[in-house]
Structure 1
Amino acid sequence: MTGRRTITISLWKQLPLVVWLVVLWVLLWDELTVVTVVSGVVVAAGVIRAFYLPAIELSGRFNIYWAAVFAVRFIVDVITASVHVAWQAVDLRHTPRSSLIAVDLHTRSDIVLTLTGEAVSLVPGSLVVEVDRPRTVLYLHVLGTKTLDDVEKFRGDVLKVEERIVRALGSAEDIRRINRSRVRDGRSPIHRTRWQLRYEQRIEEHSARMHERRDRERKES
């Protein structure tokens, strides 16, 4: 019974992928019928069972204002970077310097990690060359980094991209991690709703209980 329940939960988490595979199957057959839809569901279920991928954990929240802010800022960044890269290409006085920069993101979410990497790669002058998924670290090749200040500025810009994505659709845990970092740096948190405060309080209480438990175990041993 437990095994069947686990399979059901797994399929439910994979629902967005199943829907997309069914749509793709129907498009390949070029007709919408009961047979194509049912066969598409069967094929999709077989694919996700045979080629298992971790389920995409959606946060369940979406802020349209911050999504619009992210979109507008992304367009501005693309235009600005395009002009900057074009100028470096024609400026014969200086040879463009590049760096390989590691950016340790706050999030542990696959979707925020992916969106941040894609957004940064689409801006001219920067490209993700490797991703450390367990530690959510992006390794990027970046043009126009003459000094260490340029490197730190770019690293900060990537974290700002991550922050805008989290503001738009990040989970409570993503927000908590960014809030903690901002408070540590003397800045105000990005999201302090009553629900978020309760979540962060539960995490802190759980962490405190774990510390007390480890202290007791050390004393007993």
Structure 2
Amino acid sequence: MTPASPAEPTNPPLTRRARRRNQLVAVTGLVLVWVLLWGSFTWANLIGGLLVAVVLLTVFPLPPVTFAGRIRPVPLARFWSRFLRDLVVASVQIAWLALRFGHTPRSAIIAVPLRVNTDLNLTLTAEALSLVPGSLILEADRRTGTLYVHVLGVRTLDEVQRFRRDVLDLEARIVAAIGSSEERRRVTGADPAGPPEPTRLEGTPT
């Protein structure tokens, strides 16, 4: 039985402690990027990075993305090993498609409703998909938790369903690595095939 997609994102409440942690992570990341852009670590670059980070976060505040789970080293290692394998396999497949002269590969725009509708899960799953050659996120519907993915090399509806299952497997590995207990139960209790969604197959020139 497949649970219905929630009408609104099911983000956990953002506590004061979580808000401060998010701000600290954002400031650290911005300062690190600033120092890397200058190419050297000096007190002037560090202070300048802090000032730039404070101004950016004040003028352009980040959305309240929360983290309610915990990091699990073994599932996280499984996620990275599978992700690296998928990266290599997809690169070889795309290279083969590029070398097949006279062959017109087909593509599809596939809607994949995720089972854990939080901003963090939606972002991480979309980023992981976009990094794999052959798939590109066209849109992420935050209200329904649905990713719309352009996929290269899809010819049949069976391959569309296989891709949906692969995306949900990816989501499950992410949730297993960093999700909460409730998110893990939601993933393991759902149908891996997912509900049927409209899919448009199309041909693309080489």
TM-score (normalised: structure 2): 0.72
- Verify: 1:48 aligned to 2:75, yes or no: no
**Rg: which structure is higher?**
1
In structure 2, relative to structure 1, the CA distance for the partners of 1:112 and 1:184 (3 Å cut) is: closer
In structure 2, relative to structure 1, the CA distance for the partners of 1:184 and 1:74 (3 Å cut) is: closer
Rounded to whole Å, the distance in 2 between the matches of 1:9 and 1:92 is 53
Q: Which is helix-richer, 1 or 2?
A: 1
Judge conservation of contact 2:169–2:192 (CA < 8 Å) in 1.
no
- Verify: 1:139 aligned to 2:148, yes or no: yes
State the partner residue of 2:122.
113
Percent identity reads 44
Higher RCO (CA 8 Å, separation ≥ 6 residues): 2
Judge conservation of contact 1:78–1:124 (CA < 8 Å) in 2.
yes
State the partner residue of 1:76.
85
Q: Provide, for residues 134-172 of structure 1, a one-character-per-residue CA deviation record: whole Å limited to 9, x for no partner.
A: 322111111121111000100110111111011111233
In structure 2, relative to structure 1, the CA distance for the partners of 1:98 and 1:16 (3 Å cut) is: same
Q: Provide, for residues 74-99 of structure 1, a one-character-per-residue CA deviation record: whole Å limited to 9, x for no partner.
A: 12112212222222233357521100
Rounded to whole Å, the distance in 2 between the matches of 1:143 and 1:170 is 30
TM-score (normalised: structure 1): 0.67
Cα RMSD for the two superposed structures: 3.1
In structure 2, relative to structure 1, the CA distance for the partners of 1:31 and 1:176 (3 Å cut) is: same
Report the number of matched residues: 179
Secondary structure of the residue aligned to 1:100 is strand
Q: Displacement, 1:46? A: 3.6
In structure 2, relative to structure 1, the CA distance for the partners of 1:38 and 1:60 (3 Å cut) is: farther
State the partner residue of 1:57.
66
Q: Which blocks of at least 5 consecutive residues in structure 1 are unaligned?
A: 1-5, 186-221
The correspondence for 2:111, drawn from 61, 81, 102, is 102
- Verify: 1:158 aligned to 2:155, yes or no: no
Judge conservation of contact 1:129–1:141 (CA < 8 Å) in 2.
yes
Rounded to whole Å, the distance in 2 between the matches of 1:175 and 1:7 is 25
- Verify: 1:172 aligned to 2:178, yes or no: no
- Verify: 1:21 aligned to 2:69, yes or no: no
Q: Provide, for residues 159-213 of structure 1, a one-character-per-residue CA deviation record: whole Å limited to 9, x for no partner.
A: 111110111112334223213315999xxxxxxxxxxxxxxxxxxxxxxxxxxxx
Q: Provide, for residues 83-134 of structure 1, a one-character-per-residue CA deviation record: whole Å limited to 9, x for no partner.
A: 2222223335752110001111112222222221121122221111221123
Secondary structure of the residue aligned to 2:65 is coil
Q: Displacement, 1:51? A: 1.0
Give the aligned residue type for 2:156: T
